[in-house]
Amino acid sequence: MGTFALLGAACGGARAPAAPTPLRVFAAASLAQPFAALAEAAPDDARPRLSFAGSAQLALQLQQGAQACVFASADAVTMHKVVAAGLAVGEPAVFARNRLAIAVPAGNPKGVRGLADLARRDLVVLLGAPDVPAGRYARQALQRAGVAVIASSDEPSVRAIVGKVQAGEADAGIVYRTDCAVAGVTGVPLDPAHDVVAECLVVALTSAADPARALAFVERLRGDVGRRILARHGFELP
């Protein structure tokens, strides 16, 4: 039911024709910080209107007819859903890579050292839902490590996970390494043998009111300005 509320919010709003239609960018929650920085650095007329949510939620909104110019996903599976639905212009491009980390409250009060600890019964563990990229990556990593988490809460996005860990209401959550650079959260890296490389992809959308500006945004993101900002926020570059 919350999903439908989101759908309404995403589709709503016919704008007054005076200003040029804002460039509407749908981006995965894990990309919130670099995208906000990129928007800030953009000239006034090219400043995009950003909409952040779990990639799966955004893909669903696009499939249900939400209007956007650019889609940036935190994984290839979700991106391919949007491509398969015929909503993308050209091939999506990998513009950044990320790795996983276990987010724990600052100072790591429960002494979480790695994935194996997440099987402990005394921990409240949060994962992304199975269709949320971070959830899919987390399950891959847990499988590689041979760890079975007893009961974990499926959260709609990495932001939701980080928020609950930050508030101290959850003991651990698997997120991206870049998500752990906030106050109140400590990131515990994964054993490299279990870690997963998360690929962030971007594509211009057929529903873009102004395709040239949509492509220009993608170029900026993949160009020097975008790369500098992504690197500053801890992303690896292709």
Q: Give the separation between CA 68 and CA 57, rounded to whole angstroms.
A: 14
Work out whether 151 is an interface residue with other proteins (CB under 8 A): yes
CB of 217 to other proteins, least distance (A): 26
Sole binder of other proteins in the list 152, 162, 172, 190 (CB under 8 A): 152
Sole binder of other proteins in the list 39, 46, 116, 129 (CB under 8 A): 129
Work out whether 158 is an interface residue with other proteins (CB under 8 A): no
Work out whether 155 is an interface residue with other proteins (CB under 8 A): yes
User: Applying CB under 8 A, which part among 54-62, 113-121, 183-191, 227-235 lies near other proteins?
Assistant: 54-62
Work out whether 191 is an interface residue with other proteins (CB under 8 A): no
Task: Say if residues 159 and 72 touch (Cβ distance below 8 Å).
Answer: no
Judged by beta carbon, residue 156 or residue 226, the one nearer other proteins is: 156
Work out whether 106 is an interface residue with other proteins (CB under 8 A): no
Q: Give the separation between CA 178 and CA 170, rounded to whole angstroms.
A: 19
Size of the site for other proteins (CB under 8 A): 24
Measured between alpha carbons, how far is residue 13 from residues 5, 9, 235 in Å?
A: 14, 8, 34
CB of 69 to other proteins, least distance (A): 22
CA-nearest of 23, 128, 7, 24 to 60 is: 7
Q: Which residue has the tokens 């000239």?
A: 43
Task: Say if residues 210 and 69 touch (Cβ distance below 8 Å).
Answer: yes
Q: Which residues of 175-207 are buried (b: 16+ CB within 10 A; e: fewer)?
A: bbbbbbebeebbbbebeeebbbebbbbbbbbeb
Residues at the interface with other proteins (CB under 8 A): 1-3, 54, 56-57, 60, 124, 126, 129-132, 151-156, 164, 167-170
